[in-house]
Amino acid sequence: MMAKKGPPRGFIKGEVLCGVSMAEYTSFRVGGPVDFLAFPADLEDLRAILRWSHDGGVPCFILGKGTNLLVRDGGIRGLAISLSRGFQRLVVSEESAGKCALVAEAGESLARVVDFSWRNNLHGLEFAAGIPGSVGGGIFMNAGAFRREMKDVVASISLMNSLGRVSEKKIAETAFTYRSMGIQKGEIILGGRFLLQKGKGEEIRARIEEIRRARSAKQPYDLPSAGSVFKNPEIAPAGKLIEEAGLKGVRIGDAQVSEKHANFIVNLGNATARDILELAAQVRERVQQEKGILLEMEIQVTGEN
């Protein structure tokens, strides 16, 4: 059942949509409808949306760019918030000899931040080349690749709590772990302050392109997916364990374990969230049976069956 009546028209500068399919807003291209999807234009909008959610008892969910997310077929009851239309500011300031701070707001894509960094002769974000999603999502998940993570370059995080209060938290004050920055429930990431090294733009760009080519050669970017399905256990990469269990190419409906990278489940065209979840469960069971390792989901799962 849909949540209460939506917010009044024009109560924010941004847009609020009603009953839209989450398949349109997630990289898996699956998922049922969300009651309300809001695109705040600024902090004032975001505070107003949170206040409406709180006063009406409407559950609230931060969407990001939907690249590490699986929404179940029943959709999301309540409110989803996307910062992708208003929180995209990028600012560089000099910190000290050889170092600069890049302040990036949460709604900006990681791809654009990586591009912005080399154009401003800043070194340190090359590892993020090819990682899909937004700045906020990347920080929230402590995204990483090539033995580097967000925690290695993020100096501080700007947050808003459920009451609309904004604060700055140093990275050392967060409980970051592998694929988690330890953000408290109810806190919304507004952006991050990245501490980067000065370098030569063209050399940085060359390294970025090298990393992008390496990722493209190994990962199935030609089909809808949500990136790595499972976290890598310490013993071996999840993709290696899945491949050794003979699961490459296995499918349920139009959900398939990628033939290119076994830690990806791809949507061949008409997969449902149920197909994807059943396939992920089958993969976990087989790997546990054959390897004695219980894989842990990396993608976020939300919504109703």
The answer on pLDDT for 183 being more than 90 is: no
Judge if 242 and 214 occupy the same domain.
no
Half-sphere exposure of 291 (CA within 13 A, CB side): 23
The span from the CA of 64 to the CA of 17, in Å, is: 16
Examine residue 47 and state whether it is found in any structural domain, yes or no: yes
| pLDDT, mean of residues 17-44 | 96
The span from the CA of 139 to the CA of 182, in Å, is: 10
Contact (CB, 8 A) for 280 and 271: no
Adjacent-strand bridge partners of 109: 134
Task: Please write the tens of the pLDDT for every residue from 229-258.
Answer: 999 999 999 999 999 999 999 999 999 999
Q: Which of the pair, 64 or 135, is modelled with greater confidence?
A: 135
The answer on pLDDT for 1 being more than 70 is: no
Please give the radius of gyration of the chain, using alpha carbons only, rounded to the nearest integer: 20
Judge if 196 and 248 occupy the same domain.
no
Judge if 188 and 212 occupy the same domain.
yes
Q: Which domain holds residue 67?
A: 15-81
Residue 32, pLDDT score: 97
Judge if 207 and 106 occupy the same domain.
yes
Residue 88, pLDDT score: 96
The span from the CA of 44 to the CA of 26, in Å, is: 26
The span from the CA of 53 to the CA of 57, in Å, is: 6
Residue 299, pLDDT score: 94
* Listed residues 60, 81, 102: the one ending a domain: 81
Task: Please write the tens of the pLDDT for every residue from 193-224.
Answer: 999 999 999 999 999 999 999 998 999 989 99
* Listed residues 63, 81, 99: the one ending a domain: 81
- The token duo for 188 is 């919304």
Judge if 61 and 120 occupy the same domain.
no
The answer on pLDDT for 155 being more than 80 is: yes
Judge if 115 and 208 occupy the same domain.
yes
| pLDDT, mean of residues 91-109 | 90
* Listed residues 218, 251, 285: the one ending a domain: 218
What pLDDT band is residue 173 in, cutting at 50, 70 and 90? Answer: confident
Positions marked catalytic: 179, 228, 298
Whole-prediction pTM: 0.89
- The kind and range of the H/E element at 241 are helix 238-244
Residue type, 259: E
Could you tell me where the DSSP H helices lie in 72-131?
A: 110-119
**What percent of the chain has a predicted confidence (pLDDT) above 70?**
99
Q: Find, among 186, 138, 121, 139, the residue nearest to 160 by Cα.
A: 186
CATH of the domain at 21: 3.30.43.10
The span from the CA of 79 to the CA of 4, in Å, is: 10
Adjacent-strand bridge partners of 20: 34
What pLDDT band is residue 186 in, cutting at 50, 70 and 90? Answer: confident
Half-sphere exposure of 90 (CA within 13 A, CB side): 15
Judge if 156 and 136 occupy the same domain.
yes
Examine residue 1 and state whether it is found in any structural domain, yes or no: no
Examine residue 223 and state whether it is found in any structural domain, yes or no: no
Judge if 107 and 60 occupy the same domain.
no
Domains contained in the chain, number: 3
